[in-house]
Amino acid sequence: MRIRDLILPEDKVFFVLFHEMAEKITEASTTLNEITHELPDGTEKAHKVRQIEHRGDEITKKIYEQLNESLITPLEPDEIARLAPALDDVLDKIDWVTHQLCNYGIPETNDVLKEYSYLIQLAATEITHAFDTLATLRDPDGVKGHTLEISRLYNLSTELLSRAILELFKTKDLLMIIKLKDIYESMAKVMEKCNDVGHALNDIAMSHS
């Protein structure tokens, strides 16, 4: 029997904190999706995302504090230390792209913004499901299934970026080209960070198989 099979209930606080962090990512991504569908309205919701991001920082701090205090952890300490900043990065990038959307004066939404925000929302949902599955420490294949879906969504997002940039440069509004290209690339960065979380979760699932 491995030592993690003997963990005390209170040591599972990491899974509680990771789940809360994943929920914050889902909440922020849902708000981002709402904004992209409501432009040019809905920009006041950026404040909500900023509050969620601040809460995420608090959760990340708690994870590190708990890691420093715990003698026994459900995952290896380096695995926990890898997951915490990866999740925080996702929230940070969602907050940044929301800031861009609400401060660049985008006059109306478009299909790319809607599709990108939807992919981000789907990836966030998969992250939440993956952590719910990971918490049992009994279904590594289930975790891998969610990480494969995150990877698939990430690949779709890279294809979307290529198409979007190509179409964007067919337009003639130089200032709008610059603004939208910046936003598209920031959305791509969100998906990249989601994929980083997926990689971390997949590696953990493999090590606990």
Rounded to 5 degrees, what are φ and ψ at 59? -65, -45
Rounded to an integer, the average pLDDT of 5-19 is: 70
Long-range (24+ apart) CB contacts under 8 A made by 40-49 are 40/105, 40/106, 40/107, 40/108, 43/101, 43/102, 44/102, 45/98, 45/102, 46/98, 46/99, 46/101, 46/102, 46/103, 49/94, 49/95, 49/98
Q: What is the mean pLDDT of residues 32-44?
A: 90
- What are the φ and ψ backbone dihedral angles of 73, each rounded to 5 degrees? -125, 150
Give residue 203's pLDDT. 94
pLDDT at 48: 93
**Over the stretch 161-181, which tens digit does the pLDDT of each residue have?**
999 999 999 998 999 999 999
Residues across the chain: 209
User: What stretches of 39-139 show up as alpha helix (H) in DSSP?
Assistant: 46-69, 77-103, 111-134
pLDDT tens, residue by residue, 72-128: 677 888 999 999 999 999 999 999 999 999 899 899 999 999 999 999 999 999 999
- Ramachandran region of residue 185, left (φ > 0), alpha (ψ -120 to 50) or beta? alpha
Q: What is the pLDDT of residue 6?
A: 41
- Which residue is listed with tokens 């006059």? 107
